[in-house]
Amino acid sequence: MAVLKEYQDAHGENLVIHGADTLGRTHTERLVDSGYLKMVMKGWYIPCYPGSEGDSTVWYVSYWYFIVEYLNSKFGDNWCLSPELSLYFYSGKSVVPQQLIVRSDAAANNILQLPFGSSLLDIKASLPPSVEVEPHYGVHLYPLSYALLLVGPDYYRRNALEARTCLASLRDVTPVVTAAMDGGYTSRAGRVAGALRSIGRDEMADQLLSMMKQVGHSVQEENPFEEDIRLDHFEPSPYASRLRLMWMKMRPKVVAAIETAGLHPVALDAESILSMMDATYIKDSYNSLSIEGYKITEGLLENVRSGNWDPKNDEEDKERKNALAARGYYQAYQLLKQSVAAALAGQNPAQMYVKSHQSWHFQLFEPCIRAGIIKASDLVGYRTHQVYIRNSMHVPLNPDAVLDAMTALSTLMQEEPDAFVRAVLGHFFFVYIHPYMDGNGRTARFTMNSQLVTGGYPWIVVPMERRDEYMASLEKASVEEEIETFVRFIVSLIA
């Protein structure tokens, strides 16, 4: 284990081990036998932990590092993802693909079976004139301009969200024109022009057609999308564009679910709502903390609420993780009540979320600061490291994308007039982004309920006994972009 730790310290996040001799054959065999190394395929290993057999998390954590290390060892620099998979990356999609398609003129058209039903297909094919190297993992990609030209019309129909996200984040059409001219992709250029116009980028579409015409190319414009979805403005960040397009796609499904269920907001006075929150506290905190894996009793929650909790002078309390979590939840809940009261007194509920959600999160972990477990600076702002969700194919956004995504979420919340839509999509997108190292689920549920009770709907407690159903519905929305299951789950709790 000391040898493995030394290797980990030297290689940072990239912990893929190639060859039994890297750590020494004896060390490798013992680490595999004791459950600290997992063999991906013969000669390739990734770190894991004893008892993690059947847990996909360690594979998804290591997936892109393994892919890059494996392809570099096999093809050197002579490889890149297919145009379709390149757009997958450019669009900010963070789900581990079931099958990765890679091009190389040294490939042999082989399929490599990988853990948990994933696979890698290498195709013998030429590469573009230049290859982009993605900075986080080192994945080789087609340039965005070439990828947009080379994907077929079916791609724009089957992967409309990815295509629109890439088109929305395109800053300059000149590279597309240059690639079309150099490659002789006249008809493909017409498809890109039609796709740009379909999302509202008329000026860029006209510029593409004009530049092609100036050099003697007669381009027939063609819209490859099944429907037009015109955006009002275009973000340079693909993550911001992706969130906006996902919101636009999911919103009608949420509204339809409300109408089908016959849900209608009911106006209540502020005193009744705040009294209801007090009455719900024990049930809410018990279930919310239990969902996150804390062992909580109602007695502990009552001690925390009544003040019979003293981590400064009581060593047992200081060392009890569950008590710290319970105290943090109580403090955050009280602050949430103040936020709700402000909204009920006239503050815009969406602006209340924007102003308050970081403070709610801070209070969840403030007792850990007083207990000396974490530093206050660790809770300032959003995360700066990668996080993963256990057994999820969805990998939360990389740290560099979090601020753009959270800014976009704040904008979307403030633009949305329907409280129930803000509640459901606010919760989903919060956990989709996962802006913090910990506490994302609790803060997302605070976000949801803050919008529900200020919009005339009841406070929702997600019961521990329905945890699996709850998590599966969020996974389906994250991986398949299918929000209906999650909406039905929320509606069932209200009903």
Q: For the segment 140-198, what is each residue's pLDDT rounded down to a tens digit?
A: 999 999 999 999 999 999 999 999 999 999 999 999 999 999 999 999 999 999 999 99
Among residues 201, 206, 200, which one has the least CA distance to residue 221? 206
Average pLDDT value for residue range 125-133: 95
- Looking at residue 81, its pLDDT comes to 98
CATH class assigned to 240-494: mainly alpha
Average pLDDT value for residue range 117-122: 96
- The answer on pLDDT for 233 being more than 90 is no
Average pLDDT value for residue range 80-94: 95
pTM: 0.88
- The answer on pLDDT for 103 being more than 70 is yes
Give domain limits for the chain. 143-234, 240-494
135 in Cβ contact with 109 (< 8 Å): no
Measured distance CA(360)–CA(448) in Å, rounded: 13
- Nearest-Å Rg of the Cα atoms of the chain is 25
Cβ count near 453 (within 10 Å):
25
As to burial, measured by CB atoms within 10 angstroms (0-12 exposed, 13-18 middle, 19+ buried), residue 284 is: buried
- The answer on pLDDT for 319 being more than 50 is no
- The answer on pLDDT for 310 being more than 70 is no
SS3 288: helix
Average pLDDT value for residue range 247-276: 94
Q: Which residue is listed with tokens 């009911």? A: 266
- Looking at residue 490, its pLDDT comes to 97
Helices 186-198/160-168 angle, 10° precision: 90
Q: Which two tokens stand for residue 44?
A: 């390739």
- Looking at residue 197, its pLDDT comes to 97
- Output DSSP code: residue 97: P
